[in-house]
Amino acid sequence: MSFLGLDLASTNYSYYSIPAAFLITMAPNVYAMVLAGKNYDLNQPRRTEEICAKDTSMPKPTLQKISRAKAATANGFETLSLYAASVVAANASGVVPVSKLNTLTLGYVVSRAAYNFVYVVAQDNKKLASIRPLVWAAGVIIIMNLFVSAGGKV
């Protein structure tokens, strides 16, 4: 099985998914920084939303995107450590085949990218709002699958 030229059937790429998940978790925060522009304070980055809200020239939809981007990053960090632990557990237990491990870890990374997109960009459309918890659940199910697979091998 190959994906983007990677041999997912025999080469274990799962550990690479942890820094990939970290970068995907940080992406919405970088987007919020760009949207905030001059209002982004490197000395007090956690006050970005507050500072932007005081800027009367900033459009409300932009403020909402900044808020959602910061929330998407926070949500990503809430699950990132659990994900990393599940990858380590799956590797330590020798989950076989490697293709399953690669597929699950790739699935998690894709689910986080989809979550960020749905939360930050697609939430402008109220009809798409219900997709966000489904995408989040997919990522959590993958984490649990990794842990259960690891537990079944011990």
Burial (0-12, 13-18, 19+ Cβ within 10 Å), 69: buried
**pLDDT digits over 108-142, tens only?**
999 999 999 999 998 888 888 889 999 999 999 99
The total domain count for the chain is: 1
Query: How far is 4 from 51, CA to CA, in rounded Å?
Result: 42
Domain range enclosing 82: 12-153
Q: pLDDT at position 127, please?
A: 83
> What is the CATH classification number for the domain harbouring 39?
1.20.120
Determine, yes or no, domain membership for 108: yes
Task: For the full predicted model, state whether its pTM sits above 0.85.
Answer: yes
Q: Which regions in the chain score pLDDT beneath 70?
A: 1-9, 153-154
Which residue type, as a one-letter code, is found at position 149?
S
Determine, yes or no, domain membership for 39: yes
